[in-house]
Amino acid sequence: MSETHTHEHCGHCHEHTHADGTTHSHSHAAASSPEEALALLKYMLDHNRHHAEELHDLAHSFDEVSADLLHEAVDKLGESNDLLEQALSLITNK
């Protein structure tokens, strides 16, 4: 498993490598327009879902107690993602 993180807290940028070897960076600066904010929200929701899938897969690598906790965390991420999706729906249907 390959997981590296580089954080720059002033600009809220970081880069990490996923277990599949892909690397990408994030910039969490404030959106400069409503359109950019909407695009960022959509991206973050998709990204969160991807991380939830990765965590679910990783859970199978650990003992039962740890795996159960990871699955619980994935469930909570799912609940958070559902809330993000509801907000996104409200925003896009206005």
DSSP assigned state of 77 = H
Q: What does the alpha-carbon distance between residue 60 and residue 66 come to, in Å, rounded to a whole number?
A: 9
On the 0-12 / 13-18 / 19+ scale of CB atoms within 10 A, 32 is: exposed
Residue 11 binned pLDDT confidence (cut-offs 50, 70, 90): very low
Tokens of 50: 């991807």
3-state class of 72 per DSSP? helix
What was the pLDDT predicted at 10?
36
What was the pLDDT predicted at 94?
79
Tokens of 25: 């960076």
